[in-house]
């Protein structure tokens, strides 16, 4: 196999998943929404689209109506004809953005901890990773450390706001500070905004497209996976300027040449009926419950500002004696609840040994059952 694949770690959660599934545990590790699609009409529309014969190739850039809907959702004046491309999830969008922006050896600046796929995908295209540490419990960067990560070889910075796994939402001032560095070093910003509709407590999501210094150098990645609870439909998108978009579409024709046509048609006709503000309010109540349960258990974390994850320090519970993986395994065995070990989210996994990630986009019943299990003490062995 190729040298570029040699460093690929594979999914570090797989072994824990298999054990969790076999034992009927509650899985709070993955980000997959723990409830059916937010809109039953999405499902009806998908069936209708297939019956109506929408079963052949769609335009590779994506269903025109769906691109219009995405542009409206973004609300930043994007031209759906020339600036939006529908992809197979945000996952493909990220890969296209990286392949189209970076040559092997180019440097890319990204935060640690961060969504592990950002680092892995950048490494796969041959980029050199320059991690900037986020300092807990609020997971903020130090401006001097950020500035020191940029140099003449920097080609791009990878952002994710609201963030997986930290639950941070980048402020306008932080975005402006990052944009000034991109301007100075002529770098592109690739901003993963898949959780843009999940911002809590009256905060506002600040998109890369709202920052003047990012103009002409920004690529925004989004997805319907979590906002519309259709992660299996693989509906993501890229939003950029017309010149970059032309390149993206050529690469897209070589990667997947488009995601499922009838599902695009269904999303185009029914996604508007999903009330994203209501989904956000519900998610914020689930966040409150998760914060209550896991702080009650003794974990430490700053309040989650956005997204669907809680990223917690377990050292008050373990006294540093168990690392995150051993802790997750013990919690799984003792209580039948699976959380994600934090180490894989760090540039240097050793820095994550005292952290776990907990997804709270679950039904209230599931979260209540998790509460019951973690407070009930040891499970009887079966």
Contacts with ligand PMP in 312-371 (CB under 6 A)? Answer: none
Contacts with ligand PMP in 122-151 (CB under 6 A)? Answer: none
- Going by their DSSP bridges, the two strands 154-160 and 188-192 should be labelled as parallel
* Nearest residue to 210 (alpha-carbon basis) of 198, 218, 200: 218
CB of 144 to ligand PMP, least distance (A): 26
- State the Cα–Cα distance between residues 69 and 47, nearest whole angstrom: 20
38 binds ligand PMP (CB under 6 A): no
236 binds ligand PMP (CB under 6 A): yes
| Segment contacting ligand PMP by CB under 6 A, of 40-48, 86-94, 179-187, 314-322 | 86-94
Tokens matching residue 103: 């040559």
Among 95, 115, 131, 327, binds ligand PMP (CB under 6 A): 115
Among 12, 171, 231, 256, binds ligand PMP (CB under 6 A): 231
- 194 vs 337, beta carbon nearer ligand PMP: 194
34 binds ligand PMP (CB under 6 A): no
| Segment contacting ligand PMP by CB under 6 A, of 84-92, 197-205, 333-341, 353-361 | 84-92
- 32 vs 318, beta carbon nearer ligand PMP: 32
- Going by their DSSP bridges, the two strands 84-87 and 107-112 should be labelled as unpaired
- Of the CA atoms within 13 Å of residue 250, those in its CB half-sphere come to 7
- 117 vs 315, beta carbon nearer ligand PMP: 117
Residue partners of 4: CB distance under 8 A and separation at least 6: 123, 124, 125, 126
Q: Could you say which DSSP state residue 58 is in?
A: P
89 binds ligand PMP (CB under 6 A): yes
Tokens matching residue 281: 């309010």
Say how many residues touch ligand PMP, by CB under 6 A: 13
Determine contact, residues 147/31, Cβ cutoff 8 Å: no
299 binds ligand PMP (CB under 6 A): no
CB of 266 to ligand PMP, least distance (A): 16
Query: Sign of the CA dihedral 100, 308, 164, 233?
Result: negative
Tokens matching residue 155: 């080609």
> Helices then strands (H, E): number in the chain?
13, 13
Q: Which residues bind ligand PMP (CB under 6 A)?
A: 31, 89-91, 115, 160, 164, 192, 194, 223, 225, 231, 236
């Amino acid at each position: 196999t190729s040298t570029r694949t040699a460093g690929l770690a594979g999914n570090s959660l797989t072994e824990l998943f298999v054990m969790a599934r076999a034992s009927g545990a509650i899985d709070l590790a993955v980000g997959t929404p723990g409830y059916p699609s937010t809109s039953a009409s999405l499902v009806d529309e998908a069936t209708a689209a297939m019956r109506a014969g929408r079963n052949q190739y769609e335009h590779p850039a994506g269903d025109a109506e769906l691109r219009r809907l995405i542009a409206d959702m973004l609300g930043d004046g994007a031209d759906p004809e020339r600036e939006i491309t529908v992809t197979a999830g945000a996952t493909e969008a990220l890969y296209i953005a990286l392949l189209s922006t970076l040559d092997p050896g180019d440097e890319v600046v990204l935060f640690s901890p961060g969504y592990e796929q950002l680092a892995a995908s950048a490494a796969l295209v041959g980029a050199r990773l320059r991690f900037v540490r986020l300092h807990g419990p609020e997971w903020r960067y130090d401006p001097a450390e950020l500035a020191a990560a940029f140099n003449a070889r920097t080609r791009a910075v990878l952002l994710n706001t609201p963030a997986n796994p930290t639950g941070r939402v980048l402020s306008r001032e932080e975005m402006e500070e990052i944009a000034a560095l991109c301007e100075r070093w002529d770098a592109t910003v690739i901003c993963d905004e898949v959780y843009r509709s999940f911002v809590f407590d009256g905060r506002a999501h600040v998109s890369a497209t709202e920052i003047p210094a990012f103009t002409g150098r920004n690529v925004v990645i989004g997805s319907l996976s979590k906002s519309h609870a259709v992660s299996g439909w693989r509906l993501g998108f890229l939003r950029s300027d017309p010149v970059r978009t032309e390149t993206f579409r050529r690469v897209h024709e070589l990667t997947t040449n488009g995601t499922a046509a009838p599902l695009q048609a269904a999303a185009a006709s029914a996604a508007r009926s999903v009330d994203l503000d209501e989904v956000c309010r519900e998610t914020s109540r689930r966040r409150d419950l998760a914060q209550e349960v896991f702080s009650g258990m003794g974990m430490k974390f700053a309040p989650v500002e956005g997204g669907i994850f809680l990223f917690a320090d377990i050292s008050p519970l373990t006294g540093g004696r168990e690392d995150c993986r051993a802790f997750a395994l013990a919690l799984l065995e003792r209580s039948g609840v699976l959380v994600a070990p934090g180490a894989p989210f760090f540039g240097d996994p050793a820095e994550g040994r005292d952290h776990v990630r907990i997804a709270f986009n679950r039904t209230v019943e599931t979260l209540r059952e998790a509460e019951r299990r973690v407070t009930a003490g040891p499970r009887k062995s079966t």
